[in-house]
Amino acid sequence: MSHETVGSLLAVIANSLNDGLRILMFADKRTWGPDEFEQLRLLEEALDEAKKDFQELPDLVNGRTYYENDRINESLEDLRILCTRFELHAQTFKDWVRGGGGPIDPAWAHETTELRRELHRAQCRAARRIHSAQQIDAAVTATGARCLGALQVYRVQRQRHAAIEDERLACAQTGRFERFDDNSIAFVCDFCDGFLVWEDLRAMPTTRAVQQRPAPPPSPSPSRQPPTPFSSSSSSNTTTTTSPPTPRTPSTASTPNIPRDTNNYNMDDATVPVNPNWQARGISLTSAAAAEAKTVVFAPVAIANHAAPAPGDWRARIVCPYCDEDAYYEVQGEDDMERVRYVPLHDDDAAVTGFESVADFQEHLEWSHAPSIVSGAGGCALM
């Protein structure tokens, strides 16, 4: 019987990264040029990100024990493939130094960047699978439908005093935007590999069509303590590095940390319900009128409410955040712990089970949740 776990395979990958890093750190640098120093920097950043993920992701799935000891087959297979690729990558640098060094192939830097990206996604997917299994075990469907990555954005959106920039940054930590085809833009989630596709769009809008009213400043409350984003387990020793963590790249060094959710989805009075402020203005690519504006779903709204694709599918499903707040009722569980189960009122309700595309989600929003605009002293605002 195999004793492989997520933790043991990540340790193998960490050793390969450390091997390549040590070779370059102790190499003769007198003849080095920009390519060699760039390769060293990329290996340092890959190890730094892997360590960061290893420290933070377990807090999303109730602790390091669940994460390190996980043996879900899909996660193990992802990491086995990466173990082989990272070992081959480290062997490249061993062969290079045995051959006397010399100029480094610039293609190696591209391979390091690609492996770093794949390792990040593999760790995110492993955490999402653990979370999904835990939600099934706990019979929680009201929030369990959302992907683990979506829940991180959803939590930020529900914070009463969260800055507008926070939800965009949370999206960037969940996945990436890319051009899907000549006319469409997609968001690809790192946690579930699901695609959200906005069709006929020149670029993804970065602001809502109607901004929310600014929240009043919080009143002082000595008894309330700020939430701790990560548990104390993040400070424990790991096997992922033998050297201190290196600085992040300039593009992310100034990015504030977005607190990741820790499976506590009960909203208290520090949060507010999400208002139906889902619209953004995009530019059509195929309209006869040049640069014609069109209404689209604001990207963070869809990202915060997406669910993993159905087996064999690639599109992420989207649950309606405005319907599902009132779409469940509570019944007592039948197990020994008498858990509360959240049961959907309508099993066939797409607003609860998820829409198959962004276009279907937008059609539902337009019919059921169009914002109500009123005039006021400050102009138009949402009811």
Over residues 117-151, the pLDDT tens digits come to 999 999 999 999 999 888 776 555 444 478 999 99
Structural domains in the chain (count):
2
Range of the domain at 291: 148-213+259-382
| pLDDT, position 207 | 82
| pLDDT, position 370 | 74
Q: Based on the domain organization, do 196 and 110 belong to the same domain?
A: no
The CA distance from 59 to 57, in Å, is 5
| pLDDT, position 111 | 98
Q: Based on the domain organization, do 162 and 298 belong to the same domain?
A: yes
The CA distance from 235 to 103, in Å, is 39
Query: What are the pLDDT digits (tens) for 81-100?
Result: 999 999 999 999 999 999 88
Residue 260, CA distances (Å) to 27, 57, 63, 307, 332 in order:
39, 9, 13, 17, 29
- The answer on pLDDT for 46 being more than 80 is yes
Whether residue 227 lies inside any domain: the answer is no
Q: Based on the domain organization, do 19 and 99 belong to the same domain?
A: yes
Q: Hey, which of 35-39, 58-62, 168-172, 224-228 has the most confident mean pLDDT?
A: 35-39
C-beta separation of 310 from 262 below 8 A? no
Whether residue 95 lies inside any domain: the answer is yes
Q: Based on the domain organization, do 109 and 160 belong to the same domain?
A: no
Which of 371, 48, 347, 325 is closest to 212 using CA atoms?
Answer: 371
- Amino acid in the structure at residue 375: S
Whether residue 368 lies inside any domain: the answer is yes
Whether residue 206 lies inside any domain: the answer is yes
Q: Based on the domain organization, do 69 and 115 belong to the same domain?
A: yes
C-beta separation of 214 from 382 below 8 A? no
Whether residue 251 lies inside any domain: the answer is no
| pLDDT, position 328 | 46
Q: Based on the domain organization, do 159 and 52 belong to the same domain?
A: no
Q: Based on the domain organization, do 324 and 201 belong to the same domain?
A: yes
Q: What is the mean pLDDT of residues 2-31?
A: 94
Which of 109, 137, 165 is the last residue before a domain boundary?
137
Whether residue 244 lies inside any domain: the answer is no
Query: What are the pLDDT digits (tens) for 72-83?
Result: 999 999 999 999
Using the CB atoms, write b or e for 151-178: b if 16+ within 10 Å. bbbbbbbbbeebeeebbbbbbebbbebe
C-beta separation of 306 from 316 below 8 A? yes
Q: What is the mean pLDDT of residues 319-347?
A: 54
10 Å CB burial of residue 22 (0-12, 13-18, 19+) is middle
Q: Based on the domain organization, do 186 and 318 belong to the same domain?
A: yes
Beta strands in 51-116 (DSSP E): none
Whether residue 94 lies inside any domain: the answer is yes
- The answer on pLDDT for 244 being more than 70 is no
Q: Based on the domain organization, do 160 and 31 belong to the same domain?
A: no
In terms of pLDDT, which residue wins out, 164 or 331? 164
Q: Based on the domain organization, do 181 and 316 belong to the same domain?
A: yes
- The answer on pLDDT for 223 being more than 50 is no
| pLDDT, position 158 | 81
Using the CB atoms, write b or e for 290-299: b if 16+ within 10 Å. eeeeebbbbb
Query: What are the pLDDT digits (tens) for 270-281?
Result: 343 445 688 898
Which of 82, 115, 137 is the last residue before a domain boundary?
137
Banded model confidence at residue 163, pLDDT cuts 50, 70, 90: low
Which of 85, 105, 137 is the last residue before a domain boundary?
137
Q: Based on the domain organization, do 290 and 351 belong to the same domain?
A: yes
- The answer on pLDDT for 229 being more than 80 is no
380 phi/psi in degrees, rounded to 5: -80, 145
Banded model confidence at residue 162, pLDDT cuts 50, 70, 90: low
Q: Based on the domain organization, do 116 and 160 belong to the same domain?
A: no
Using the CB atoms, write b or e for 335-344: b if 16+ within 10 Å. eeeeeebbeb
Whether residue 159 lies inside any domain: the answer is yes
